[in-house]
Structure 1
């Protein structure tokens, strides 16, 4: 199992898969989601629209994951997962966030993904504190990767400040 922190633009990574911190509709948005949709081109939006809704306006419930081709991105696949909105930490946020990582890895394994990169899920507009999110992410990834030891996982941070937070959590795990 290889788990590392990188500072990079997620949309520039040439891996088997990158993970999108999506919203439940999977129709694009701001932050990481918007950047991935812009870089992948309009075919990504069409592929997301083709995914069935499981409830009105919901193609991917919080904690779940869906996969599409990556189109114009250098990655082969985009795995879309919906993280929890931070509500103070007493509404199951940690379990839902952990489920995002577990669901994404399980889906990646079904598609023979060997290299994958995750953004800091829920740490943007969803407001999850980065230090807490990093601990949850790393613990859940270490746990699930025992079943997928050959998979290489990068925790992709857009800037040095966030990378330092995630590296510290990885060092302490």
Structure 2
């Protein structure tokens, strides 16, 4: 049985196999959560990202976790919010699903996911919470008993976002 948890905290401190980074498509980790991850995990994360070079919106790539407690960082490229008329919902869903599929392919047991696209990318938190949780629940329904993943955590930095996700659950 895959366990889903909503937690409030700093994702860079999560003790899981992989944390998900809300990345941009060029994998330049210069702001927001991405910058915090590189600051704490070390330049190796950026260097490995540079070797990958590019990740299209809705997809995810993986690097080592550097000095983080997590062994890996899965860099998911969510959408930039443009009013909802440019497939933002589908891209966000796909970014979460791609992250989970990558964790599954790598035989990981635990993953922690942030509120992708709700920071600098401006995606409305209420809308994002429903989409992110739907992508996770769909994955659980499809893969429960067929994956090494045992624990999926949604790690939210602030009280407001945490409460929005709890309500959406």
Q: TM-score, normalised by structure 1?
A: 0.92
Whether the aligned pair in 2 keeps the contact of 1:23 and 1:29 (CA below 8 Å) is no
Aligned to 2:66: 71
Over 3 Å off, 4+ runs: none
Higher mean C-alpha deviation, range 126-135 or range 142-151: 142-151
Question: Following the alignment from structure 1 to structure 2, what is the Cα–Cα distance between the partners of residues 103 and 151?
Answer: 17
Question: Following the alignment from structure 2 to structure 1, what is the Cα–Cα distance between the partners of residues 77 and 102?
Answer: 14
| C-alpha displacement of 1:130 | 0.2
Show the 5 A alignment for 1:99-118: 99-118=94-113
Question: Following the alignment from structure 1 to structure 2, what is the Cα–Cα distance between the partners of residues 157 and 24?
Answer: 22
Q: Structure 2: state its 5+ residue gaps.
A: none
Question: Following the alignment from structure 1 to structure 2, what is the Cα–Cα distance between the partners of residues 70 and 104?
Answer: 15
CA deviations 1:84-110 (Å, max 9, x no partner) are 011111111100000001100111101
RMSD: 1.0
Q: 2:49 is paired with a residue of what secondary structure? A: helix
Question: Following the alignment from structure 1 to structure 2, what is the Cα–Cα distance between the partners of residues 151 and 139?
Answer: 18
Aligned to 1:87: 82
**How many pairs align?**
164
The one of 106, 119, 128 equivalent to 2:123 is 128
Q: 1:147 is paired with a residue of what secondary structure? A: helix
Aligned to 2:24: 23
Question: Following the alignment from structure 2 to structure 1, what is the Cα–Cα distance between the partners of residues 150 and 87?
Answer: 28
| C-alpha displacement of 1:148 | 3.0
Q: TM-score, normalised by structure 2?
A: 0.94
Q: 1:78 is paired with a residue of what secondary structure? A: strand
Are 1:141 and 2:130 an aligned pair? no
Q: 1:146 is paired with a residue of what secondary structure? A: helix
| C-alpha displacement of 1:40 | 0.7
Question: Following the alignment from structure 2 to structure 1, what is the Cα–Cα distance between the partners of residues 61 and 131?
Answer: 21
Are 1:32 and 2:33 an aligned pair? yes
Q: Structure 1: state its 5+ residue gaps.
A: 54-58
